[in-house]
A = this chain, B = another copy of it.
């Protein structure tokens, strides 16, 4: 089905719409929570947030429900929303689940990966290494996320990807403050992982990913001391 307008297909910015307000409120609140502008345990009042963001209460309500569903706020009935307070046990559980999901993704990715896809992974890996070399923590973390997301995409399991996305964002919340400690080694492991995927060695990819996320957990726990 060809367009008759002669316009290039993908280049049209699609008349960028602001999108549903609730989603933007969701993103805004998520940003405020992850940046610790809203402290754990803090009571979030709908009307306050609504006034502060310049919208009505309804989008705020819907955003809060989504935040609750995603584990960012606790919604006590007839009382309101409170920013979730992370605990040691919960961080540990999240990392356990993350290990599980990422390892499975690595296994599936190894089974499905095509040559160009592997090239993409290597490019991302190189990008991450450059970021580490330049001591750009933000870029390194962002590239890390993209790399993991790409592997998840290669796994070709939408359900798995969705769950992993949820868990990953929360893990990153705990993890980001200590990301600096774990720069070089992380990307060395990424290299090994990509090599395993390129070799179609699912067994090895699973194992490397398991060790990789396990290192993340150890780094997190060492931070406490």
Residue positions of A touching B, CB distance < 8 A: 19-20, 58, 61-62, 65-66, 69, 77, 90, 93-94, 96-97, 100-101, 104, 157-160, 163, 166-167
Interface centre among A97, A157, A158 (most CB of B within 10 A): A97
Residue of B nearest to A104 (CB): B100
Interface centre among A61, A90, A100 (most CB of B within 10 A): A100
Residues on B with beta carbons closer than 8 Å to the beta carbon of A166: 163
A-B contact pairs, 7 of them (CB 8 A): A19-B77, A58-B58, A61-B62, A62-B62, A66-B69, A90-B158, A94-B159
Residues on B with beta carbons closer than 8 Å to the beta carbon of A69: 66, 69
Picked from B66, B96, B104, the residue with its CB within 8 Å of the CB of A157 is B96
Residues on B with beta carbons closer than 8 Å to the beta carbon of A65: 62, 65-66
Number of copies: 2
Q: What is the CA–CA distance of A103 and B88 in the complex, to the nearest angstrom?
A: 24
B159 with A90: CB separation less than 8 A: yes
CB-based closest 4 A-B pairs: A93-B159, A93-B157, A97-B159, A97-B160
Q: What is the CA–CA distance of A93 and B101 in the complex, to the nearest angstrom?
A: 13
Picked from B93, B94, B160, the residue with its CB within 8 Å of the CB of A93 is B160
A159 with B167: CB separation less than 8 A: yes
Q: What is the CA–CA distance of A20 and B77 in the complex, to the nearest angstrom?
A: 8
A157 with B62: CB separation less than 8 A: no
Distance of A194 from chain B, by nearest CB (Å): 22
Residue of B nearest to A108 (CB): B96
Residues on B with beta carbons closer than 8 Å to the beta carbon of A158: 90, 93
Residue of B nearest to A75 (CB): B20
Residues on B with beta carbons closer than 8 Å to the beta carbon of A167: 159, 163
Residues on B with beta carbons closer than 8 Å to the beta carbon of A77: 19-20
Distance of A41 from chain B, by nearest CB (Å): 18
Picked from B20, B100, B157, the residue with its CB within 8 Å of the CB of A101 is B100
